[in-house]
Structure 1
């Protein structure tokens, strides 16, 4: 048994960890005691990637490229392949993943199971929309090949299915053409939610990537920085040196606290406001700014942290975001990692996919016990009234009624579950 925690480091639980490395042998009984759960890089924040007291099938050794067609951009790979490795292989050949989340240190299988999204939802949707086909192995040894056209219901259950329909073994992905690794970018400061929504609306037609940082501690204001980018035709620029640092230890208390948050947010806003304007950026620092600091989750101290990400319909987005930010500022809790962005008017491919048309807010919160739980209860009430939902990939404490209300296709999904697969999240929100 091995102690395993998720990225939020809220707790560590004992698991029987079994490594999967041979995709051809997975039709035999999977190793370990059932129920099991596929586990990639463990970058989910809460308990969707954990299976306390039971088996985790570690997939990071299933990391082989199987084929790549440089004329069509179709890539076939094993599910443990990192998004980082795909990008670094294909971008020099004129191709890039259409959708990636805020870190590229996740596996293809994890990206599919959580149907991750990026900064360009209004253009390319979710990760699942770039999946042409996948191979799913069930714990009874059966193999299901599915796509949007073949066994489409299995595909819709597995994309965003939280790893509960089987073990994803391989996937075929459709990449998009790019001239190179560069982006034309622009940073626009804003001083209110009204300004944010105006900039977001104006940006959708002309900009592929749109996202904003917002100061979550502002009382009476909602200032922030809106960042947008387009693939650039610039060529011949030297690749930047990849420099990464490591958070070397877990401090005795969270470095994100009342003493540090307000001055950091003020300094970050004014420095970037001063540097606002147009520029050219390499894709890695633009898409994955935190990947250059390994183990950054340690900064939240020994009690770990939560991430709370919600999406609410656009029709009530302004009022709901204002109410949530007011509660957060009043509580004095929050983070300098506060992201506000809009989702496009498109339906996600999975039965349990998180994105829906509207506006989404994501924040990290140091674990302060009951104070944090009380704040989340107040935020839940706002999301519930707005008919929104929370993101299971980030969640560690969502109430079951909010999950059921936010994911109306849950009854449609449940028959596709593999009875030999379970997780801490599924037991908490689905009963088994």
Structure 2
């Protein structure tokens, strides 16, 4: 059968297995190289291989300590399931990416980050231990104290150190399911960056950025910050049910859009309307957690907007010392090409967390491009700009980077590759991405 990631590119011929228990999983590992797959929300080919293992049956929550907020759960449990079970009890994810349809194992393997990386770090910061099945079929408990080396390679190791079976993560206490949001309309890139720095103390921050704008409007953005609302900060009606929010996610894209639907003109018009409508909103407001953290989850199957050919996501991080000129060069390259990104997100990041963590102190820009020749011609140029400014790339979003580009931008992976070869892991765990990138 053929499988793809969320970007629907590339499509890979694979044998798909769905083991029911650890014994069946160990037998599959003994047969040769494979990669584990959770919800398939990695954009490219990091959860695809000639042999792909669906971890959907490893989906039980095992235990919760209300004193510490520690949850023990199997790797196939989704972040959305964690929220549904524990938000009504006053607990929320310490770190969440932009979708709740991610498995616990996938969040650890990619060491995902969220809108609070600058203030609280990545997902792995809140992982206490991992049970990992290795190439010999044996299970090891890995933590910062026990099998620490393997623990640190697994955070952000893209599933290439073994199969994550279960983990202990720490949730955070919250008084409501609402976010106090501040919205800032930034007329250009410099204003957006100034807004980020001025609101650095905010727990959550991000910006939608217009990649089609040119001239004096280059990089005009809507910057949003947020804090968890206390019960006292809610309206009287909401205080009675502080964890109850309106339904989120009832819409669905029923068919693949035609290829011509997303073109430079339609992207430019959408971006201008989006900017103006948000610029008119009150600066201070209260939002339910869903629209704030997971705006795209409100539209199921939204990847079909890009048509059958799919799309590619480009996500880089540029260090603080070169962030303004690097981001400006990227935006200028996009506007010159005419390949405007329909969805573009800018975030401030804090220091690197784990050994293979994607973030560094600086700014990350995530961009979606429809799969066509204009995009294919542009992305190598964006690679070079990132390299020239000391940046690097997020493998959970990558679907087409070259091995040479990875080596030049992120030498950490060379040591990882050596570790996999010397330990025999390379012969047991491999993805289409790891083969493409020489990992």
User: Which range, TM-score by smaller chain?
Assistant: over 0.9
Distance 1:364 1:195, change over 3 A: same
Q: Tell me which of 52, 59, 69 is aligned to 1:56.
A: 52
Q: Is 2:318 the counterpart of 1:319?
A: no
Contact persistence 2:30–2:136 (CA under 8 A) = no
What CA distance in whole angstroms lies between the structure 2 residues aligned with 1:305 and 1:250?
12
Residues 347-381 of structure 1: CA distance to partner in whole angstroms, max 9, x if unpaired?
A: 211x3221111111111001112x22221121111
Structural mapping, 1:150-229, within 5 Å = 150-205=146-201, 207-220=202-215, 221=217, 222-229=219-226
TM-score, normalisation: structure 1: 0.95
SS at match of 1:30: helix
What CA distance in whole angstroms lies between the structure 2 residues aligned with 1:359 and 1:97?
23
Pairwise CA distance, 1:254:
4.8
Q: Any gaps of 5 or more consecutive residues in structure 2?
A: 232-238
1:428 maps to 436
2:417 maps to 414
What CA distance in whole angstroms lies between the structure 2 residues aligned with 1:196 and 1:188?
8
Contact persistence 1:134–1:172 (CA under 8 A) = yes
Q: Tell me which of 109, 116, 126 is aligned to 2:105.
A: 109
2:254 maps to 248
Pairwise CA distance, 1:13:
2.1
Q: Tell me which of 269, 274, 294 is aligned to 1:263.
A: 269
Residues 317-368 of structure 1: CA distance to partner in whole angstroms, max 9, x if unpaired?
A: 0000000000101111122311111101x2211x322111111111100111
What CA distance in whole angstroms lies between the structure 2 residues aligned with 1:244 and 1:295?
11
- Count of matched residue pairs: 423
Q: Tell me which of 276, 284, 294 is aligned to 1:278.
A: 284
Contact persistence 1:3–1:14 (CA under 8 A) = yes
Q: Is 2:141 the counterpart of 1:135?
A: no
What CA distance in whole angstroms lies between the structure 2 residues aligned with 1:399 and 1:73?
41
CA RMSD of aligned residues (A): 1.5
Pairwise CA distance, 1:172:
0.3
Pairwise CA distance, 1:34:
2.1
SS at match of 1:396: coil
Q: Tell me which of 25, 36, 39 is aligned to 2:37.
A: 39
Pairwise CA distance, 1:203:
0.8
Contact persistence 1:389–1:402 (CA under 8 A) = no
Contact persistence 1:211–1:227 (CA under 8 A) = yes
Residues 404-423 of structure 1: CA distance to partner in whole angstroms, max 9, x if unpaired?
A: 13322223322443221111
TM-score, normalisation: structure 2: 0.93
Q: Runs of 4 or more off by more than 4 Å in structure 1?
A: none
2:400 maps to 397
2:236 maps to none
Residues 38-71 of structure 1: CA distance to partner in whole angstroms, max 9, x if unpaired?
A: 01111111111111xx211100111100001112
Q: Any gaps of 5 or more consecutive residues in structure 1?
A: none
SS at match of 2:27: coil
